[in-house]
């Protein structure tokens, strides 16, 4: 057990999927895993462990934003031995070619600041995904016929953004989408020598001011979860 995770030794699998929303973790575990068992509910952050095609998997909420994800990722890696961590979540598109319901596979994750900024100080470290996971996820998306985009994303440290000038520069420089967690996940994975990837469903479009209707979100998010699971065990 840790301060934030109440799982017993052996209850966390080496492969962990990390949705921000704990109730999305519950939905994903009940939908895609065989015999899921709840292993954490500390502070309402739900975690479940089950099996996917015979492979042990934990699906654990990470909360919103990089500071929250950093807590769970640190403890999952250091205290429970997680070796593969895949963020599954929603994002806002920042390019015309990216459509609602598309999937973004984040090769890199740019940011203004992360919890790791105090370590790097004036050094602009470029956190990136694990290549084997990225390649496997792209192949899984193609096999499923899902429209997927591979490239850079932007991990913001605020949700209610008041920097339209920064958004313009992100779009200008080819950033595919914006979310709030992946950059710190990639920092931690590289620091600890484990694998990480962010597989994201486009739920909103910053350029077109479109949003995915709530009734369609669950169906679209299912593609993302299956791609993440297939990539983890390719």
Would you name the residues annotated as active-site residues? 204
Q: What is the pLDDT of residue 218?
A: 67
- The hierarchical CATH code for the domain 15-232 is 3.40.50.1580
Residues of the chain with pLDDT below 70 are 215, 218-219
Q: What is the pLDDT of residue 143?
A: 97
Feature table: binding site for a purine D-ribonucleoside: 4, 179-181, 203-204
User: Which of 167, 219, 198 is CA-nearest to residue 105?
Assistant: 198
How far is Cα 229 from Cα 227, in angstroms, rounded to an integer? 6
Query: How confident is the model over 80-132, as pLDDT tens digits?
Result: 999 999 999 999 999 999 999 999 999 999 999 999 999 998 899 999 999 99
Q: Which helix (H) or strand (E) holds 65?
A: none
Q: What is the pLDDT of residue 158?
A: 92
Feature table: binding site: 4, 20, 24, 43, 87-90, 179-181, 203-204
- Which residue ranges make up each domain of the chain? 15-232
Q: pTM of the predicted model, to two decimals?
A: 0.96
């Amino acid at each position: 057990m840790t301060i934030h995770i109440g799982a017993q030794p052996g209850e966390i699998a080496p492969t962990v999927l990390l949705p921000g929303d704990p109730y999305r973790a519950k939905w994903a575990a009940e939908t895609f895993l065989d015999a899921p068992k709840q292993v954490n509910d500390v502070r309402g952050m739900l975690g479940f462990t089950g099996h996917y095609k015979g492979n042990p998997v934990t699906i654990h909420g990470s909360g919103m934003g990089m500071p929250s994800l950093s807590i769970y990722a640190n403890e999952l890696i250091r205290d429970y031995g997680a070796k593969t961590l895949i963020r599954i979540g929603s994002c806002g598109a920042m390019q015309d070619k990216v459509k609602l319901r598309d999937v973004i596979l984040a090769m890199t994750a740019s940011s203004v600041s992360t919890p790791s900024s105090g370590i790097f100080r004036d050094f602009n470290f470029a956190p990136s995904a694990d290549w084997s996971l990225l390649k496997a996820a792209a192949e899984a998306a193609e096999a499923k016929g899902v429209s997927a985009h591979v490239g850079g994303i932007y991990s913001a440290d605020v949700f209610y953004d008041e920097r339209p000038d920064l958004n313009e520069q992100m779009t200008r420089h080819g950033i595919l989408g914006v979310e709030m967690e992946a950059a710190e996940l990639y920092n931690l994975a590289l620091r600890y020598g484990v694998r990480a990837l962010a597989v994201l469903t486009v739920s909103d479009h910053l350029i077109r001011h479109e949003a995915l209707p709530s009734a369609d979100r669950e169906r679209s998010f299912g593609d993302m979860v299956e791609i993440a699971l297939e990539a983890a065990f390719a």
